[in-house]
A and B are shown apart, each in its own frame.
Chain A
Amino acid sequence: MNEKIENEKKDTENEDDDSDFIIDFTTSSAINRISLKFLVVYIPIFWFSGLAVATFWYGYTISTVPWIIKLLFLPLILLGFSFLFIFTCFFFSKLLLIFINLIHLPKEGIFRTEKGDTDFEFWRLRTEIKKITLWLLRNWPLPWIDVIAFRWFGIKMDFSSHLNDAWCDAEFISFGKNVTVGQGAVIMSSMVVGNYLIIKKIRFDDYALIGGQSTIAPGTHFGEDTVLGAVSVTTLNQKLEAGWIYSGIPARKLKPNKYAEMRRDIIQKVDVDGEEKVETEHEVNIDDDKKHLVKRGNGGDNK
């Protein structure tokens, strides 16, 4: 009996302890519970956008241009058709999204992953609708264009930053200028933990740099000139200070980002005195305690 009471006491203590509920880990944002309902969304999008291509193809077949010229321009026309297909897919999915967003506005916050929860259901629907167009555009021979798709679906970004080689959610993310995202990185503004769905906005300021294979959890805020090393993970709601290099699981401060300052100095010098010869050596931004390694490499004069 005494043991039981003790166990109960321990349990109550655990319940009161909030550290169990702190989300200091990161999982994935892939959709769970795929249902066949999405077929209803996919087939009309496919059909209508296919119709647009079919009408153009019909025009191509009945035109009276000599066949040799037709054949000559066939590759170009096929490329055009594929783009037309993608663009109309894009158009119809955007139209559907607008309707869905009128019914239910996308929201940040914590929701339950149950069938009754409207926020959860609409989140699934939105991601599924976006998936098809993004997939098509990213597999197209001109993959730079996926920035347009991301912009239309509600990510704030311009052509100076790119995320072509990363998994990325298509809502609640805003990019500054010249943001670089590494290969295989995962950027997710939504995350499912147990029975709960968490959606929070991610912000990247100018010149942020994300290393390869790193994972970015919802609510992360990157300051200006912040670097996140490869194979590192941010936790929920983490704020990364401007001008620092972070790395590790979870991401911790490594050292101030002096590379960014150096880069700008060099650019300014070139702009101002472009014709003058620079006689001083370029200062390489290496830590003081490691400079001797470089000198030794040059021939060992200091020995």
Chain B
Amino acid sequence: MSTPNSMRVGPFCASVLVKKKYLILYIFLIWISLLPAILEIWWYWQMLWVDERPLHFYIFLPLFLFVIYVSTVFAAIFFTKILLLIISIFHKPREGTFLRDPGDKDYRYWSLRNTIKKWPTWLAHKFPFPFLDNICFKAFGVKTKLSNSLFEGWVDTEFIEFGKNVVIGQGAIIQSSVIIGNFLIIRKTVIEENVRVGAHVIIMPGTHIGKNCILNTWSSTMVGQELKEGWIYNGSPAKEFKKNRFFEDIPIEKLTKTIGDMDGLLKKYDETRVARVTKKRKSLKRKDKEENTTEEKGLK
């Protein structure tokens, strides 16, 4: 799957800026996380730049740039984590319904946390390398496994719990915080094992999705909705559609009904393969064949 260039998908941090002075922290983070990279460049230059033979320098440069990028992401995550810890001393992040007003401490700190987290998540996502996002999620307190794929949609970076083998579809939105009118609602979203969220699905805060669930495309859940284990859901708000039996051992004949002419397809592939193989053999043994045919003609 290729992400469209005009879409800024990825780990989602709300861009609500309650106070403009939060931007100072944001810029501070950019500055401090680029420092290790600069140190590395200096070290690399000292090590390998020899005027007479700069060959080593150029050969290892691409690999070095790769390492620099990844280490910058790690540095950004490290400093962000420290900042987040300091902030959580002043005010611990908590669930609940809060007033959407600069006077509300929870609302202010929610905005501050998101502003801080924006830089490392942006940096991690702007690299064609799918593992960095997962490291970001883990560092910011989202419970997830490294094998999960969460980077084709918008996923919030706090108060979310994922099980094993979860896949988030293209353009899906997984939220743990939402603004409705005058209120900010923050509630923990839990998605358990083997859940497959379809494309463009919207999951509201507080949703609990049981094991082995499938969500059809364009379905959406309500705040605090509980989805039962082992069902396929559809519609908005999501309703039970039918039982998910695709984790059982189904005889393939039953599934092929939906995909159409399966035997024909397999036959087609076999034929193309056979044609390719025979073509090669023909080109190798053409001379012998010609001789054979002439012999046969002679015999006749």
Contact = CB atoms under 8 A, between A and B. Distances in A.
Given A170-B2, A183-B6, A132 B200 contact: no
Interface in B100-158: 126, 128-131, 134, 146-149, 152
A50 B217 contact: no
B39 interface: no
Contacts of A12: none
Given A35-B147, A215-B217, A27 B169 contact: yes
A29 interface: yes
Contacts of A219: 259-260
Interface string B57-74: 011011101100000000
Nearest to A46: B66
A54 B241 contact: no
Contacts of A110: 252, 255-256, 259, 262
Interface string B150-190: 00100000000000010111111000000000000000000
A46 B63 contact: yes
Interface string A179-223: 000011010100011111010100000000000010100010000
Interface of B: 1-7, 54, 58-59, 61-63, 65-66, 126, 128-131, 134, 146-149, 152, 165, 167-172, 196-200, 212, 214-218, 232, 234, 241-248, 250, 252, 254-260, 262, 265-266, 269, 272-273
Nearest to A35: B147
Given A50-B62, A53-B62, A184-B4, A34 B269 contact: no
A90 B250 CA distance: 40
A59 to B, nearest CB: 10
Contact of B254 (A14, A21, A36, A134): A21
21 contacts: A21-B257, A25-B217, A27-B198, A33-B149, A34-B147, A46-B66, A50-B61, A54-B59, A109-B265, A110-B262, A164-B4, A164-B6, A168-B2, A188-B199, A193-B196, A194-B214, A196-B246, A198-B259, A200-B260, A215-B200, A215-B217
Contacts of B3: 135, 138, 167
B123 to A, nearest CB: 14
A139 interface: yes
Interface of A: 14, 18-36, 42-43, 46-47, 49-51, 53-55, 57-58, 105, 107-110, 127, 130-132, 134-136, 138-139, 143, 146, 164-170, 183-184, 186, 188, 192-196, 198, 200, 213, 215, 219, 231, 233, 236-237, 249
Given A46-B62, A195-B247, 13 more contacts: A21-B250, A26-B199, A31-B167, A32-B147, A47-B66, A58-B58, A107-B265, A138-B3, A167-B2, A167-B3, A169-B1, A186-B170, A236-B259
Given A22-B257, A22-B258, A236-B259, A30 B63 contact: no
Contacts, number: 222
B5 A167 contact: no
Contact of A193 (B169, B199, B214): B214
8 tightest Cβ-Cβ pairs between the two chains A and B: A50-B62, A194-B246, A28-B169, A134-B2, A135-B128, A138-B5, A25-B216, A54-B58
A226 to B, nearest CB: 19
Contacts of A28: 152, 167-170, 172, 196-199, 217
Contact of B245 (A21, A35, A166, A183): A21
A186 B152 CA distance: 11
B214 to A, nearest CB: 6
A198 B234 CA distance: 20
Contacts of B252: 110
A130 B246 CA distance: 28
A141 B123 CA distance: 18
Nearest to B235: A249
